[in-house]
Chains A and B, each alone.
Chain A
Amino acid sequence: MLLLDTLPSEHVFSTALQSQNHPASLIGPTYNTLKVLVPDSRLCFHAAHLYLVPARTDSPVPTTAQSDLQQLTVDAQQAAAGSLCSSILAGNTSESDDYGDLAVWLAGAHESGAVSFANNDGREEAVIAALGLSSWLEGGAKVC
């Protein structure tokens, strides 16, 4: 588990992911996304299963969810690459060609933290807070 406060060099990161037998094509886009998130977030990156999780999560991610998250990251990045775009979410009109989509784990379905995500109002802010990215909303940023 890698706390993003301590993101290593790209070489070290690449070596770590290669040791997990992840596709080489995922390494660069994944690292670039993490670099953007590093200065602000309180996230951990699970190198073995390619997902992000809030650093303050109290309970471990279920094993079944870990493989699901890994597959989600791999599928999203492969689908984006196959479509000549970097992000399946941003789409191919985005100018960026360096960032890869990453799966994120927020909470278990029956954990107390899940309630806030299920609310109709403010759930975006709850997700942003869980990601440790509340500072992104400062300075006139908006959630759309």
Chain B
Amino acid sequence: MLTSLFLFAPSSQLVKSTDATVAQTLTSSAALERVKSQIEGWESRFGFRIEGGPHAAVLFALVGLGPSGWQGLVGLGVWS
């Protein structure tokens, strides 16, 4: 389930609702499992988002200490 991917994502209500919706909608896929396995293998991890910046897009970042160093994902979302 994707829910576990978001356990360390931003704790805001927006993300919680996104999390719930995604968890209800998505089904497991090989690609998703690979993403999860990579992220879950990191020693520590945290996520955050920047809201209200200069762009319409909201920036998400998910960062952790991976096998070789600090790495992560950045994603962009837009809500109307």
Chain A residues within CB distance 8 Å of chain B: 33, 36-37, 40, 51-52, 62, 64-65, 68-69, 71-76, 78-79, 82-83, 85-96, 99-111, 113-114, 117-118, 123-124, 127-128, 131, 133, 135-144
B25 cross-chain contacts in A, Cβ below 8 A: 83, 92
Taking CB atoms and an 8 Å cut-off, the chain B residues in 15-72 that contact chain A are 15, 17-19, 21-22, 25-26, 29, 31-32, 34-35, 38, 44, 46-55, 57-63, 65-72
Residue from A37, A105, A113, A143 whose CB has the most chain B CB atoms within 10 Å: A143
Instruction: Answer whether A76 and B35 are a contact pair too, CB < 8 Å, given A118-B65, A127-B63, A142-B52.
Output: yes
Which residue of chain B is the closest to A130 with respect to CB atoms?
B70
Supply 30 A–B pairs (Cβ within 8 Å), ascending by A. A36-B55, A40-B54, A51-B71, A64-B67, A65-B68, A65-B69, A68-B71, A72-B73, A75-B38, A76-B73, A78-B31, A82-B32, A89-B47, A89-B75, A90-B18, A92-B25, A93-B22, A95-B79, A95-B80, A102-B74, A104-B74, A109-B69, A123-B63, A127-B48, A127-B72, A136-B55, A140-B52, A141-B51, A143-B48, A143-B49
Say whether B76 contacts A87, CB under 8 Å.
Answer: yes
Say whether A99 contacts B48, CB under 8 Å.
Answer: no
A110 to B70: give the CA distance in the assembly, Å.
Answer: 10
Chain B residues within CB distance 8 Å of chain A: 2, 5-6, 9-12, 14-15, 17-19, 21-22, 25-26, 29, 31-32, 34-35, 38, 44, 46-55, 57-63, 65-80
Closest chain A CB from B12 CB (angstroms): 4
B77 cross-chain contacts in A, Cβ below 8 A: 86-87, 89-91, 94-96, 99
Say whether B47 contacts A114, CB under 8 Å.
Answer: no
Closest chain A CB from B15 CB (angstroms): 8
Which residue of chain A is the closest to B32 with respect to CB atoms?
A79
Say whether B21 contacts A92, CB under 8 Å.
Answer: yes
Which residue of chain B is the closest to A82 with respect to CB atoms?
B29
Which residue of chain B is the closest to A107 with respect to CB atoms?
B70
A51 cross-chain contacts in B, Cβ below 8 A: 71
B32 cross-chain contacts in A, Cβ below 8 A: 75, 79, 82-83, 88
